[in-house]
Amino acid sequence: MSDNRGNSRGNGRRSSQGSRKSPGNGRRSGKKKRQAGYRLANVNRGLVILIIIAVILGIYSCAVRGDREIVNVDASEPNIDVQLLDVNPYSRPGTQVNQINGIVVHYTANPGSTAQQNRDYFNGLKDSHETEASSNFIVGLDGEIIQCVPTWEMAYASNERNADTVSIECCHPDESGRFTDDTYRSLVQLTAWLCVKFNLTQDDVIRHYDVTGKDCPKYFVENPEEWEIFKENVGKAIEKSSAE
Ligand SMILES: [Zn+2]
């Protein structure tokens, strides 16, 4: 927008100059040619500016999508802050899991809450008896990972799939349920690492929604193409580690 304004201002100045001094025909036609040249130069400049803007916009839109597509992580073990819940009937029943057939991704549905707060809430259920809920892992807003329940023990997160899956709860800053870049990266790495650990692939990674139809994890339910990209990223991370 500001470029268009600049051009028209330039034209106006030149044409007023032209009307002030116009001594002879020859010189005028020369000036006309020159003005035509200026106009052509202006058009060319305008085109170049448009192309530059288009290229910048193109790169920008790729980058916005791309930060979710090209995640430079592998399937190595991430930093995990192990803070196991106390064994109790409301969040850590202590039930052994015989076989792990999948990874289930969740969102906390509590915008702005931290991994620590969610972990402490789960642990507090032993006293509050409010509900039965927990998760094997929680990924925080800054990408920190807290483990609440050992992978070979059942957590209360994924309904009928509690007994044969590992669950990951993810924190999110707002109602949209979209994860921060840090949360996303840690989630990709943690999921990829768990896949390798339990001999699974990205096709064994599911949403809570795929178990019960619940709107969880909200952003990946409402944006199924982003869910597919996430799984691709997990696959790439697994590949990267198996190639090493
Ligand atoms: Zn869920």
Distance 119 CA to ligand 1 centre (A): 15
Measured over the CA atoms of residue 173, residue 178, residue 180 and residue 186, the dihedral's sign is: positive
Distance 40 CA to ligand 1 centre (A): 61
Q: Please tell me the pTM assigned to this model.
A: 0.73
- Is the pLDDT assigned to residue 4 strictly greater than 60? no
Question: Which residues are CB-neighbours of 230 under 8 A, at least 6 positions away?
Answer: 68, 184, 187, 188, 220
**Measured distance CA(84)–CA(144) in Å, rounded:** 15
- In tens, the pLDDT along 130-170 reads 999 999 999 999 999 999 999 999 999 999 999 999 999 99
How close is the Cα of 147 to the center of ligand 1, in Å?
Answer: 16
**Which residues are CB-neighbours of 109 under 8 A, at least 6 positions away?**
177, 216, 218
How many whole angstroms separate alpha carbon 196 and alpha carbon 50? 48
What pLDDT sits at residue 33? 55
Residue 104 has pLDDT above 70, yes or no: yes
User: Cα of 169 to ligand 1 centre, how many Å?
Assistant: 7
Side chain identity at 182, as an amino acid letter? D
Question: How remote is the CA of residue 41 from the centroid of ligand 1, in Å?
Answer: 60
Distance in Å, CA 23 to ligand 1 centroid? 82
User: pLDDT digits over 58-75, tens only?
Assistant: 555 544 454 565 567 999
